[in-house]
């Protein structure tokens, strides 16, 4: 199967969650014999922090002006599947091109569904959505399941929806030796205003209440006024190849979900699966549907307040290891990039089957 994707970025993991997910999914598709062309606008922000230039088994096309895409459109449109994603800076132009000249199955993949729906609810423009909605696509995939799927149908006219959740490539994320001195609790994530209240409760407050413990924070975009504590060590941006060592350098790691995603539920972050695949015990905020992916108390520790985090850190190393091993086994069985690639292929093949029946 040949798949062309117009997306936000796969070449830079700086400040976004799309790139790592696409890298794992593309590797999974390539291992199964499929070929992906990923079309990405070459913007300065990502160009300055590019950490991938080649996609084994796939093609990366970087462009600066839409005219370059239009000139090379034949090679892109010669595909079984033509996919546009959320936050693609030329999503609408790509949609119009597919409508005008594309013959493959038309797919929209919203990797930011809660954000999309929240903006629509607030009456704000969503630049990556066609003005008429999503009714022109044969399939609308959503990073978020549950009630979000019905909302995509009702609000945006999607004719057929399906979840395509996050995932992890076990070849890229696996247990490794720690990098330097180990800490008690780590957190890896880009700074976000809407995540800050929960981060303050589940990371800053425990650090303040347990000054004898070591806390490790990694990610980009943290402001000068961030409420640092003396026992918080900051790593800055952590590139994907360094994620395993980061996760394996603490007794436990924290997961904090974006506000809109937590409110809607059924939206596991890629970091959640990455940490589990690396064998890190996970302490997480809670949201509807989380128990669909991990069993609370057995594969993940849930926390609503600082005392819950401190209770988790008080567990023995043996108990934390038991929880981490159970989570890793669950991820390898159900949430690997290969497993998600198989789900995607099954969904894409079903489009052709439905079209054949309709004909």
pLDDT in tens, 144-164: 999 999 999 999 999 999 999
Report how far Cα 120 is from the mean position of its chain's Cα atoms: 21
3-state secondary structure of 78: coil
Tell me the two tokens of residue 317: 């190393």
State mean pLDDT over 175-195.
93
Provide the residue count of the chain.
Answer: 359
pLDDT in tens, 324-338: 999 999 999 999 999
Tell me the two tokens of residue 299: 């594969």
State mean pLDDT over 202-220.
97
3-state secondary structure of 40: strand
Confidence of residue 322 (pLDDT cuts 50, 70, 90): very high
State mean pLDDT over 40-68.
94
Tell me the two tokens of residue 135: 């009714």
pLDDT (0 to 100) of residue 358? 56
Report how far Cα 337 is from the mean position of its chain's Cα atoms: 12
pLDDT (0 to 100) of residue 179? 87
pLDDT (0 to 100) of residue 240? 87
299 secondary structure, DSSP code: T
What is the longest distance spanned by two Cα atoms in the chain?
69
State mean pLDDT over 302-311.
98
CA-only gyration radius of the chain, Å: 21
- The DSSP element (H or E) to which 260 belongs, if any, is helix 259-264
- CB neighbour list of residue 193: distance below 8 Å, 6 or more residues apart: none
Taking a C-beta distance cutoff of 8 angstroms, is the pair 115, 259 a contact? no
pLDDT in tens, 63-118: 999 999 999 999 999 999 999 999 999 999 999 999 999 999 999 999 999 999 99
Residues 264, 113: Cα–Cα separation, whole Å: 9
């Amino acid at each position: 199967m040949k798949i062309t994707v117009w997306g936000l970025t796969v070449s830079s993991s700086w400040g976004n969650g799309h790139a790592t997910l696409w890298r794992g999914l593309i590797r999974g598709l390539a291992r199964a014999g499929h070929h992906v062309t990923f079309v990405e606008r070459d913007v300065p922000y990502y160009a300055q922090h590019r950490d991938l230039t080649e996609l084994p088994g796939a093609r990366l096309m970087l462009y600066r002006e839409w005219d370059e895409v239009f000139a090379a459109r034949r090679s892109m449109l010669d595909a079984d599947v033509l996919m546009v994603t959320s936050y693609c800076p030329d999503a609408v132009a790509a949609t119009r091109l597919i409508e005008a000249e594309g013959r493959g199955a038309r797919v929209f993949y919203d990797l930011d569904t809660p954000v999309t729906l929240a903006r629509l609810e607030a009456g704000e423009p969503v630049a990556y959505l066609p003005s008429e909605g999503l009714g022109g696509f044969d399939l609308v995939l959503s990073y978020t399941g549950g009630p979000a799927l019905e909302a995509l149908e009702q609000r945006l006219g999607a004719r057929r929806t399906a979840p395509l959740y996050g995932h992890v490539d076990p070849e890229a994320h696996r247990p490794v030796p720690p990098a330097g001195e180990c800490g008690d609790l780590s957190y890896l994530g880009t700074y976000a205003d809407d995540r800050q209240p929960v981060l303050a409760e589940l990371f800053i407050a425990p650090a303040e209440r347990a000054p004898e413990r070591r806390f490790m924070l990694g990610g980009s975009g943290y402001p000068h006024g961030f409420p640092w504590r003396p026992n918080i060590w900051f790593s800055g941006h952590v590139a994907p190849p360094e994620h395993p060592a980061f996760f394996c350098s603490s007794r436990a790691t924290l997961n904090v979900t974006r506000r809109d995603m937590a409110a809607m539920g059924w939206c596991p972050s890629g970091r959640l699966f990455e940490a589990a695949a690396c064998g890190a015990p996970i302490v997480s905020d809670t949201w509807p549907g989380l128990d669909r992916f991990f069993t609370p108390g057995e594969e993940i520790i849930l926390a609503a307040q600082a005392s819950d985090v401190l209770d988790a850190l008080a567990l023995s190393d043996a108990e934390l290891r038991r929880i981490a091993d159970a989570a890793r086994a669950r991820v390898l069985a159900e949430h690997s990039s290969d497993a998600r690639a198989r789900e995607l292929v099954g969904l894409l093949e079903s489009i052709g089957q439905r079209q054949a029946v309709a004909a």
